[in-house]
């Protein structure tokens, strides 16, 4: 499982137990969400940039919305084999 892979690396490198590893992984993304909400954008080294973008409504009846978009870095795309 991919989630376990990420946690496994944390456990191995930091020499912590599984529970702590999972907690750490969750905390990372909670922190990213918090930073995104406060600053409007956040860049993760080796992954890319998450940002909030406002979209204008198409007409008077529809609402203007904000969306979270992700811009992958070239290195990330290259590592995972996309963009070819």
Q: Does residue 72 belong to the site contacting other proteins (CB under 8 A)?
A: yes
| Residue selected from 17, 18, 19, 68 as contacting other proteins according to rule CB under 8 A | 68
Question: Does residue 66 bind other proteins (CB under 8 A)?
Answer: yes
- Residue 66 makes CB contacts below 8 A (sequence gap 6+) with 52, 53, 54, 55
Q: Site for other proteins (CB under 8 A): which residue of 16, 17, 18, 19?
A: 16
Q: Check residue 17 for interaction with other proteins (CB under 8 A).
A: no
């Amino acid at each position: 499982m991919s989630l376990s892979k990420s946690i496994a690396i944390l456990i191995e490198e930091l020499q912590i137990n599984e529970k702590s590893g999972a907690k750490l992984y969750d905390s990372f993304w909670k922190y990213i969400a918090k930073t995104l909400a406060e600053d409007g954008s956040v860049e993760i080294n080796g992954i890319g940039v998450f940002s909030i973008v406002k979209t204008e409504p198409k007409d008077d009846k529809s609402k203007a919305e904000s969306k979270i978009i992700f811009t992958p870095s070239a290195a990330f795309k290259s590592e995972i084999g996309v963009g070819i």
